[in-house]
Structure formats: C-alpha cells, structure tokens
Amino acid sequence: MKIKNLHKKHIAILWFWKEGRSTFIFLLKLWITDITILDKNNSCFPVDYISSWEIPLSKIDEFLNCSWILSKHLQNTDHKSVKIITGDNYIDSLWDFDIIFKTPGISPFDEHIKPYRDKLSSQTELFFENYSWKTIGITATKGKSTISTILYKSLLEAGLKVKLVGNIGTPVLDEIDIVNHSDSYDYIIYELSSYMLDTAQPSLDIAILGNIYTDHLDWHLNQENYRRAKLNLLKKSHHKIINVNLSESPDIVKDENTHFFWTGWNYYAKDWDFFIWETKVMDESDVKIKWTHNTINITSIIWVFHILGLDIEHLTKVTMRFGGLPHRLEDIGTYKWITFIDDAISTIPQSTIAALKTYRDSVSTLFLWWTDRGYDFRELAKYIHDNEIRNLVFFPPSGIRIKEEIQCYIDFFDGKDSLGKGYNILETTSMKEAVEFAYKCSEEGSICLLSTASPSYSNWKNFEAKWDDFKAEVIVQSK
C-alpha cells in the first residue's frame, strides 16, 4: 500500500499493543484520522473504555501520553475524533473497513479474520512499499536474531551506516522515516518473522534464509503455510543466501544469484574454521561463540561480505567480541557446583536438541514444558534417553507429552523398563519446585539447562518472564 493511497480510506487498527500504537501515531502524523481501534482487551488503553468510545482529537495527546502536540497538528482534519471498540464483539464490523492494519500476532487464518484477508495490511508491507534504501532481510525458525545482530555489528565495523529493525526490536515505523526520508542508510537490516512474511513479499537486495523447522502451527495452521511464509522472503529478492539443507527443495528457484551456505559449497565451515573455496578466512579462535548453529549462522554472513566486497577482518573483529544474545545458551552462573544455563528462547524441539549437543554429556538436569503447539517430540525423546539425561522436570501440557514420548521409546527399545527406573522425575507448574529439584538431583560439576522445547505462554507472558523467574529462584536458593 502506497502512503498516498491511505488518505480517504476507512482504516481499522487491529490490536493496540506496541505495533498497533506505533501504526496509529504514524497515521495521525499523516493527518489521517478516519481510524477505528479494535481490541478485545481494554487494558492497553490509558483509561477503561466500555464497548465503544470516541476520543476527541483535542484529547489525543493525553490519550497517547505523548509530548508531540498531535492535537494541534490535527486541528484542521476532516474527522474530529477516533473511535475505539473493545469487548467480545470488537471484530464484528471488519466488513466496514477499507484497510485493516494488523499486528504480527494476529493470524490471517483465524476464522473471524480470514474473510477479510484481502483488506489486511501491516507495518512490514507499508515499509517495503514505500522505502528507498537498500535492504537485507533475514529469517529462520531459529537463529535469525543472531545473524541479524552479528551482521549489523559487522557492517558498522566496516564503516557502513546501517539500521537494524523488525522482529528483533521496536516497530519499523518508529525507527525509519519512510515519509520524508530524513535519514540516509547504506543498508537497512530487517529481521522478519513468519508472521510478518505471511502477507508480505519484500523486495530485498540480499535475503538470508536460515533453517526451516516446524513452528507456529497454531498461527499458520499447518507446516505448508508456515513454509510458504518463510519462502516469501526470496520471491522478490536479488541475492538469495540459503541454508544448504534447503538446497534440494523444489520450491526454491536457483539462478546465478542463489547462494547456499554451510557445508558442501564454496563458503563453508570445517572443524570450526571458515573457508572460501579452500582458503581459510577465519580461524576457530576468531569466534567467541563456538556452538555449531552459530558457526552455520556466521557462514551466511561471510557470503554477505563477499557480495558487498568487504574485508572479512571487520566480521572477525565482531565475532571475537560477540558472546551471544540474552537467553540463548546464556551462562547465568555456577552455584553449589552446578552451572545453570538459560536457553529460554529455545521453544521448538530442534533448538533444544542443538542446546543439548552443545554441552554434550555435561547436562544432567533439563527443564521441559509448556504450551503444546503440536510439535513432534520423538527425536528429542530419543536424544534425552540415549544420552542419559536422567533428571527431568516436566511442566504441562507439552512437558507431559515429552514424557510420554520417552516412555514409548523405552518400551520399544528396552522392553518393560519403567520411566521411573533410572530417572528422577518432577511434574510441576512451580519454578520454585523445579529449581529445588535441580539443586537436589544435579551432579556436582554438571549443567542444569533451561531449554524447554515449547513456548511458555500458558504460564508466563513471554520467554523473558520465564527466564526472570528461573534466574531469581536459582540465586535465592543458592544461599
């Protein structure tokens, strides 16, 4: 949607949390006031609104709790108020709007939203329809934030003016002036989730597509829809840098600008060192984070440096300093001879397996839980059993499913052996109980790993809240 086409449209903003608020302010700055805010929950507003309410534009500064004096800016607009609808019937009037700006958390496959899919738009679409800077887009089921961060820091190190936006931070329209183009960047680095890509096919100078595992099936309904969203990254992009594990996929079009990374291609890693053709360009000692999945991520960035004609030494300077992002295999300390590792961002089985492989036989206690998105836990169950990880905390409901998968594996391969024999098991919904169990059962010198193979929305607001609870209990109980 071009900005000029937004005027004279009847616009809805679906949900008013961070991105919804950002979109609202962006539209107001364009003198667009034919806006209705739709949100079932009224707790995101400064005061309680019941069912339907209109905010006079003269009160908009107070409503937004901002200091931009938008009310004076808007005094000559056609509409003198904006409307808010909350409560159970907040989406009953979707048919009445020309454009519906949704936040990433809203699925277009929802039965109430799907009939209006052709009216849906987003900040991501608005950005790519109106931007004028070169852009590098990055997506993956796991690892996109690490790739985005290392690439951003490395391009800064190389002297380029770059901006990191998207899924990793604040809404893009808060960061980039797409109206006046007041800032000039060499590159915008845009981290893109499958939610953002479902209705967008961005035109990118460089696209990086990492792994595609099963995830977000509650939002996309099935793996096919999820995969299609991820592949939207490639459709209008010039250079396409793709994980080699996807090289045989029939739905990936290969041309002279399609490049694969990791092993078996010209840009690869071997024994932790990095090569272009057969020439070593980075040594193991140049990378502070040693784990295999991060090695894979770095090979994709080497491709970007080659395409841009930049010296690898700028990347090396960053990888020597970069110790990883929070909640991604983060060491929160050793207490009573037990090391506690926070991998709260691991919310699919494959990322938990990767975490376990990172520490090999050092993990003695593992926390597994919460929101069941219908993942296949069989491979994880096999890894846990075969690698003798015997202290297990199961939080319902997905933790219980993982327990059942381990039991099935034992029954099939070990005959009548019981899950209770040789295992220390705790089923709980209490982080306090879980940490008590870890201190009691973990061997001295071993690792207690919080890498839960599922999201935690049924008990915590987000993975950061889960980590805060975990860390607090670890420290309190260490005394």
436, burial (CB in 10 Å: exposed 0-12, middle 13-18, buried 19+): middle
**CA–CA distance, 247 with 213 (Å, rounded to integer):** 15
What residue has token string 């846990």? 384
Furthest CA-CA distance within the chain:
79
Question: Strands of 273-276's sheet, edge to edge?
Answer: 267-270, 273-276, 279-282
Q: How far is CA 28 from the centre of its chain?
A: 29
Per-residue pLDDT tens digits of the chain, which is 479 residues long? 899 999 999 999 999 888 999 999 999 999 999 999 999 877 667 655 555 688 888 888 878 877 666 777 787 788 888 999 988 889 999 999 999 999 988 999 999 999 999 999 999 999 999 987 899 999 998 889 899 999 999 999 999 999 999 987 788 999 999 988 777 899 999 999 999 999 899 999 999 999 898 888 888 999 999 999 999 999 999 999 999 889 888 889 889 999 998 876 666 677 767 877 778 888 877 888 766 777 888 889 999 999 999 999 999 999 999 887 777 788 889 999 999 998 887 878 888 998 898 887 899 999 987 666 677 888 888 888 888 898 999 887 766 777 787 777 666 655 545 555 678 989 888 889 999 999 999 999 999 999 878 776 555 555 566 668 888 999 999 98
Q: Which pLDDT belongs to residue 14?
A: 95
Domains of the chain in sequence order: 3-121 (3.40.50.720), 125-319 (3.40.1190.10), 330-477 (3.90.190.20)
> In 3D, which of 16, 176, 160, 129 has the Cα closest to residue 82?
16
Contact 343, 355 (CB under 8 A): yes
Whether this model's pTM surpasses 0.85: no
Helix (H, G, I), strand (E, B) or coil at 61: helix
Q: Which pLDDT belongs to residue 439?
A: 96
Contact 297, 147 (CB under 8 A): yes
How far the first Cα of the chain sits from its last, in Å, is: 58
Name the DSSP class of 219.
Answer: H
Q: Which pLDDT belongs to residue 381?
A: 85
Name the DSSP class of 167.
Answer: T
AA identity, residue 203: S
Phi-psi region of 280 (alpha: psi -120 to 50; beta: other; left: phi over 0): beta
Q: Which pLDDT belongs to residue 216?
A: 81
Whether the bond into 397 is cis, omega within 30 of 0: yes
Residue 321's DSSP bridge partners are: none
> In 3D, which of 276, 228, 268 has the Cα closest to residue 249?
228
Compute the half-sphere exposure of residue 97: CA atoms within 13 Å on the CB side of its CA.
Answer: 27
Contact 127, 137 (CB under 8 A): no
Name the DSSP class of 299.
Answer: H
**CA–CA distance, 182 with 176 (Å, rounded to integer):** 9
Q: Which pLDDT belongs to residue 470?
A: 87
